[in-house]
């Protein structure tokens, strides 16, 4: 019996479910235990985790560093806002469908331009393209609302195909609670989906490209094509995060397309550890809290970000999760040595 259980859990997907289970259970309890402010803050963390997860498909798994991911996040956000302002739509599901389609299309286009080039030009081009979008959002203010932005009020929104709305007394608390679970479900979905992708033959091919582009070619992997596809998936995940972000923030402005936000996404992945699957998730959640408390205490937030990034690169390049697993190995190593001692 024990053997059969062990066999089931030696397979990757059940093992994933096993350690995700308790975490998801804990996450389910958050709105009950925390007030609306904390719940909302945590929701932001989950949203950024989706964005960072998408970003890291390119960095951690394909070896492509993009300083332009704010483009996809912002596109997702603006697409929802446009649907509110110009189409009078309020359904969250419509926002998601529209946002995903738009960011997929733009990722496909931008990806085509970017992946034809070496990794250094890639980083430059990704940044430049996101700046184009920012300029467009900024200058075409009669369409995008310019620096005033476009409002997305939760009172006018619905979830679950119109069955849940947020009007009347206690609407804000209701929204925060429901929205948290909505985002949580999507977060779990995205995590499992990305996990499958990186553990698929496609995911292995991406890692091969990351490790040795030439050899990958000589093994029959068409490097540009695979990079492009990874770019498409990456941009779409980040775009979805953008769509989810906007109802919570209530407002979208060109700031979300500006390069510092791209830098924050990069930072999240590096902070958590971009060579681990869970690194970006941890990094996003931790960063979210750091930012919330740091921005409150200083206006030189960029300096802090830059400083910590430099320290991370020099001292802790594997990030929180990377350092954590090294620590675990050392402890286990000590345990093993201890057991050997006792055995003697």
Partner 1 sequence: MTLLRTVNLKKYFGDTRAVDGVNFTVAKGEFLSLVGSNGAGKTSLVNLISAYLIPDEGQIILDEVDITRSTVNDRVRAGISRSFQLVNLFDDLSTFDNVALAIFSRQEKTRNPMTLADNDTEVTEEALGLLRQFGLNRHRDVQARGLAQGERKLLDVAVAYALRPKLLFLDEPTSGVSTRDKLTIMDTISHVVRGGNVTAVVIEHDMDVVFKYSDRIVAMHEGKIFADGTPEEIRRNKEVATTLIGAAFTD
Partner 2 sequence: MDIFIIQFLNSVFYASILFLIAAGLSLIYGVMQIVNMAHGSFYALGAYVTAWAIGTAAAGAPVALLFVLLPVGAVAVAAVGAIVEPMLLRPLYNRPEEYQLLITFGLLLILEDVMHFAFGGVPLTAGAIMDATGTFPVSSLRYPVYNLIVIVIGVIAAIGLWAFIYRTKFGVILRATSQNRRMASALGLNVKQVYVLAFAMGCFMAGLGGAIVVPSQAAQLGIGVDALILAFVVVVIGGLGSLEGALVGALLVSFVRTAGIQFFPEIELAVLYLIAAVVLLIRPTGLFGKA
Q: Under the rule (CB under 8 A), what is the footprint of partner 2?
A: 59, 63, 65, 67, 113, 116-121, 123-125, 127-129, 131-132, 135-136, 139-140, 259-260, 263, 266, 270, 300-303, 305-310, 313-314, 317
DSSP-derived 3-state class of residue 159? strand
- Three-class SS state of 165: strand
What is the C-alpha to C-alpha distance for residues 91 and 99, in angstroms, rounded to an integer? 12
Residues in the interface with partner 1 (CB under 8 A) total: 29
Q: What is the closest distance, in whole angstroms, from the C-beta atom of residue 301 to partner 1 in the complex?
A: 34
| Closest residue by Cα to residue 104 from 115, 96, 93, 92 | 96
Q: Which does 168 bind (CB under 5 to 8 A by kind): partner 1, partner 2, none?
A: none
Please choose which of partner 1, partner 2, none residue 127 contacts, taking the beta carbon within 5 to 8 angstroms, the exact cut-off set by kind. Answer: partner 2
Identify the residue among 210, 246, 247, 287 touching partner 1 (CB under 8 A): 210
208 binds partner 1 per the rule CB under 8 A: yes
- Residue 119 CB, nearest approach to partner 2 (Å): 6
What torsion, rounded to 10 degrees, do the Cα atoms 160, 82, 128, 273 define? -20
DSSP code per residue over 230-265: HHHHHHHHHHHHHHHHHHHH-EE-GGGGSHHHHHHH
Mapped onto helix, strand or coil, the DSSP state of residue 145 is: coil
Q: How far is the CB of 147 from partner 2 (least distance, A)?
A: 14
Nearest residue (CB) to partner 1, 105 versus 196:
196
Residue 202, binding choice from partner 2, partner 1, none, Cβ under 5 to 8 Å by partner class: partner 1
6 contacts partner 1 (rule: CB under 8 A): no
In whole angstroms, how close is the CB of 110 to partner 1 at the nearest point? 20
Residues with Cβ within 8 Å of residue 306, at least 6 apart in sequence: none
Comparing CB distances to partner 2, the nearer of 143 and 188 is 143
* Residue 212 interacting partner from partner 1, partner 2, none (CB closer than 5 to 8 Å by kind): partner 1
220-249 mask for partner 1 (x: CB under 8 A)? xxx---x--x---x----------------
Q: Which residues of 142-172 are buried (b: 16+ CB within 10 A; e: fewer)?
A: eebbeeebbebebeebbbeeeeebbeeeeee
Q: Which is nearer to partner 1, 203 or 283 (CB)?
A: 203
Q: Which residues contact 69 (CB under 8 A, 6 or more apart)?
A: 51, 54, 55, 126, 130, 234, 235, 238, 262, 265, 266
Q: Are 271 and 306 in contact (CB under 8 A)?
A: no
- Nearest approach in angstroms of CB 263 to partner 2 is 6
* DSSP 8-state symbol, 91: B
CB of 197 to partner 1, least distance (A): 5
How many Cα atoms occupy the beta-carbon half-sphere of 52 within 13 Å? 32
**Three-class secondary structure of residue 204 per DSSP:** helix
- Contact between 317 and partner 1 by CB under 8 A: the answer reads no
69 vs 210 by CB, closer to partner 1: 210
Q: Of residues 124, 138, 151, 217, which one binds partner 1 by CB under 8 A?
A: 217
Q: Answer with the entry of partner 1, partner 2, none that 58 interacts with (C-beta below 5 to 8 A by kind).
A: none
Residue number, 263 or 273, with CB nearest to partner 1: 273
Q: Looking only at residues 168 through 197 of this chain, which bind partner 1 when binding is defined by CB under 8 A?
A: 196-197
| CB nearer to partner 2: pick between 40 and 262 | 262
Which ranges constitute the DSSP H helices of the chain?
2-10, 12-28, 30-33, 36-56, 62, 70-87, 92-114, 119-139, 141-144, 171-198, 201-211, 213-218, 223-249, 259-272, 279-297, 301-315, 319-343
Residue numbers of the site for partner 1 (CB under 8 A)? 11-13, 196-197, 199-205, 207-208, 210-212, 214-222, 226, 229, 233
């Amino acid at each position: 019996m024990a053997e059969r259980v062990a066999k089931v859990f030696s397979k990757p997907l059940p093992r994933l479910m096993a350690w995700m289970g308790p975490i998801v259970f804990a996450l389910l309890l958050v709105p009950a235990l925390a007030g609306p402010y904390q719940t909302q803050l945590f929701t932001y963390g989950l949203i950024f985790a989706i964005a960072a997860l998408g970003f890291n498909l390119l960095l951690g798994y394909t070896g492509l560093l993009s300083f332009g991911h704010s483009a996809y996040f912002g596109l997702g956000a603006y697409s929802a806002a446009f649907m509110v302002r110009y189409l009078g739509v309020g359904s969250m599901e419509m926002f998601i469908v529209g946002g995903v389609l738009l960011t997929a299309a733009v990722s496909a286009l931008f990806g085509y331009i970017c992946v034809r080039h070496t990794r250094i030009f890639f980083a430059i081009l990704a940044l430049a393209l996101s700046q184009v979008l920012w300029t467009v959002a900024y200058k075409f203010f009669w369409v995008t609302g310019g620096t005033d932005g476009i409002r997305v009020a939760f009172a006018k929104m619905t979830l679950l195909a119109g069955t849940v709305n947020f009007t009347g007394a206690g609407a804000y608390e209701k929204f925060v609670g429901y929205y948290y679970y909505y985002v949580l479900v999507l977060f779990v979905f995205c995590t499992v989906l990305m996990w499958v992708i990186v553990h698929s033959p496609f995911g292995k091919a991406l890692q091969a490209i990351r490790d040795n582009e030439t050899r990958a070619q000589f093994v029959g992997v068409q490097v540009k094509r695979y990079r492009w596809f990874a770019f498409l998936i990456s941009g779409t995940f980040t775009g979805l995060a953008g769509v989810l972000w906007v109802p919570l923030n209530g407002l979208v402005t060109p700031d979300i397309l500006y390069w510092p936000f791209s830098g924050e996404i990069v930072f999240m992945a590096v902070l958590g550890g971009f060579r681990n699957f869970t690194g970006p998730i941890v990094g996003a959640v931790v960063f979210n809290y750091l930012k919330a408390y740091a921005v409150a205490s200083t206006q030189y937030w960029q300096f802090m970000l830059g400083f910590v990034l430099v320290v991370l690169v020099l001292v802790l390049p594997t990030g929180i999760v990377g350092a954590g697993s090294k620590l675990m190995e050392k402890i286990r190593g000590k345990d093993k040595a201890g057991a050997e001692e006792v055995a003697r």
